[in-house]
Structures are given as structure tokens and as C-alpha cells.
Amino acid sequence: MAIYLPEGLPARSILEAEGFLPATSMRSKGWQSRPLEIAILNLMPNKAVTELQLTRLMAAAPFDVRITLVMPDGYQSHSTPAEHLARFYLSWTAVRHRRFDGLIVTGAPVETIPCEQVAYWRQLTSILDWTRDHVTRTYYICWGAMAALYHFHGIRTPVLPKKRFGVFEQTVREPGALCLRGFGGTFPVPVSRRAELTRESLPEGSLQILADSPESGLCLLAEPVRGALYMFNHLEYEATTLRDEFVRDLQAGHAIDPPLNYFPSDDPAAMPPNRWRPFGQLLIDNWLAEICDLVLPSRDSERSMDWLLAEPRATGDIDGFADFLIVAEEGTCSLPEILQRVEACGHRSLAAKVHREGAGLSLIELRLETISAEAAQRFARSLLRAPGVRQIAHRGCGGMERMHLSRGCSSPRVGPSLIPPVRPLIQSRPANEALH
């Protein structure tokens, strides 16, 4: 789908080069009646890097999204040129009369400073209060989450004796949470902070712990009454972000150990893999899907459910894409695991959906680009070997190539009559749409 970004924003040209669809038109061209209006309050030092991290995830989501970059009134950055802020950012006063479907508040390198001593604290608290009546859903990241919890609940975040730094496995505590659909039981996440909220400091009742880790503490909280998510870590980070922070701290003369569980064989010269990207994408997809359901209730749900299996375009190339419908035992085969298999097989995923079937089953729709019928069959067989997968249906470009495989069946059943009986099953379930 399309993402609407300011003309000339560095992230825009990078996303265009990566094949995404940045646009300037104010008209949504998809099934949505309008783009989702998402504001980003970017408090990170290197604005352009954070802009790209967040917009890359939203550009890959199956929704039309228009981004507005916001800063507190009088905000000054010591690491981003004033020209960049003046050209691409709006002050809060300039947007305070508007309503937004979602607001993302980033982290900031000030977690060791008492909130009241942060230069823009008064302006930030005004923005946080404004969200109550002007924003449908909020997503706070790292210090942004700490600041919001202090303002709304008076929770102070103690400074750590040593920076929490590395990639840590998190355990999902609320598998039924909408924002964690498709996550499975655990997921890795980059951690980079000098302060840490404790479970004991949380008020009873209002905040839900969605994910945490014995090594790195709380990871993700939800506050349903405010429509807020509080993420203390960084699923939006790129593969090299922790490495760049490590080098920066060394050059600044800080005592810093290499990030844990990050470099292959603990070798800082080795290229670190991005093991968390599928989960970062899925979290943003789920967040936007929930917003879309709230603010666009009149959308044609059946039409949206058809989006994945409908023909995307008349390419004239029978191998232009391949659709898969995967039936699996719920909790055994998560979407990130399937996407990792896609990457391991050398394919590129265009889109995915997770459906709840009931009776202990889940449905996952998957679309791949540029894959032959033979490759599709090999890929389907590899998926069928995944734990918990029961059946796989496949349809090639234009519906010309179709097959159905079941666990324990030695050969696929092929024919044009196999997919239609599956489609009503898809259309009757609410969906979580994701783009990878």
C-alpha cells in the first residue's frame, strides 16, 4: 500500500529505491476510504535515521498511511540540522487542533535525567495530555514510554548501574493481545537503555504486561483505557543500529561492553543478523490494523479479506506471484517462523494475513512474488514439514496453477476446483493483515 511522506524527506527517496510506494497524493487508492493519519513525535538525536526506521515498517504495512512529523514547541536539536526540522517538522501548536489516528513517541537519550529537568518537559506533558482527546491509539518507545508512564501514573524509572545493551529474548505473557497476533511464545528484541522500570512499581489493574524477560526486564505494556502501548526496547532498529551505538560510545570514551547476544561469535567485526525484523513488522501491522478497525468501521470487510487472494495485477506472467493458505494448529507455527522459511528458501513475501479459525486452528495467507509452479510446490512441501502444519492450498498467478497438500499425503492434489471451497472460510473470519 502507499505511504504519504513530505516531498524531499531523505527517507522517501530511500523507500522508493527499495520498491515501496511513497506518495504525495492526498487520495487513498486502495480499499480504505482514506489514509490513516499517523503522527511521529521524534525525539531521537539522529532524526533521519529514526524517520527511516519507522516509515520503512509502515511503508511495508497493508494500509495507506500518511505521516506527519511533529516536534515540541521551541525544540532544538544538537545533532539534526535546523533546516531539516524547519522543512519537514510541524510544531505541536501547528497541529494541536487536528485529530490523529495514531501517535508514535520515540525514545530520547535523557533517561538518566529527572523528567522535570528535560528541556522540553513542559511542552511534552502538554502533548501527552492532548492525546487523550485527539489521538485514537498511542505507541510510546523507550524513554517515550518512561516519560508517559511518569506523567500519567507518577512511575519513576530507576537508572541502571550499567547500560542494558544487547538482543534479549522476550516471553509473551498475553498471547491473546491484538498487538501480538502471530508472535508465538517468544521473540528477540534489541535493548539499549540506561534505566529500567520494575514490575513492582506498576499500579494494579490499569497496566497489562504483554511481554518481558528475566534478563532485560519489562518489554511491552498495554493500557487499554488509554489505547496506549509502552515499548521499552527497540523493535524498529535496523541490523547495524546497536553496532553504531557501540562504536559511538567507544569513540566518546564511555566504558561500554559489546552488546550481548548480538555479534556472531561475539566478534564486533562480524555483521549482526536482524533476527527481530519480522516481529517489528508484525507489531506495527497489528497496531495499524487495530487502528483501522476503530477509525474506519464502515470499510467493506469482505472486500478487505479478498485483497490477498484477488489478482493484484494482470502481468501476463503465470509465475508472477503465488498464494498459499496454510492451516496450522494454533500456537505451533507463527507468522514470523513462516516468513523466516520464506527468506531461507530465497523467496520474497509480498503480503500475509493471520486468521483465527477456532477449534485450535489458525489460518495464514501468504503471497510470494516471482515463483514458478515447481518452486511453489517445493516451498509448500517444506512448509508442510513445519510442526503443527496440517494443510496447504496454493494458487498461482491468475488462478491457473492450483494444488492442495495435506500432512501424510504423498502427492499434491491439483485442479481448479480446490481453492473456491477455501475462500468462504477466509472471508468469514476477521483478519490481521501484515506486509513483509
Active site residues: 142, 234, 236
Q: Return the bridge partners of 38, or none.
A: 67, 102
Dihedral sign of CA atoms 311, 313, 316, 317 in order: negative
- How far lies 197's CA from each of 39, 113, 164, 365, in Å? 26, 15, 12, 38
Cα separation of 362 and 341, whole Å?
Answer: 18
Report CA Rg, the chain. 22
- For residue 87, the Cα-to-chain-centroid distance in whole angstroms is 27
DSSP track, 389-409: EEEEEEEEGGG-SEEEEETT-
- How many Å apart are CA 353 and CA 211, to the nearest integer? 22
159, β-bridge pairs: 195
Q: How far is the C-alpha of 309 from the C-alpha of 364, rounded, in Å?
A: 12
Our CA dihedral for 111, 117, 120, 123, rounded to 10 degrees, sits at 110
Q: In Å, how far are 35, 62, 133, 309 from 65, measured between CA atoms?
A: 5, 9, 21, 22
- SS3 assignment for 24-83: CCCCCCCCCCCCEEEEEECCCCCHHHHHHHHHHHHHCCCCCEEEEEEECCCCCCCCCCHH
Q: Which contiguous run of DSSP H or E holds residue 199?
A: none
Cα angle 148, 150, 151; round to 5 = 65
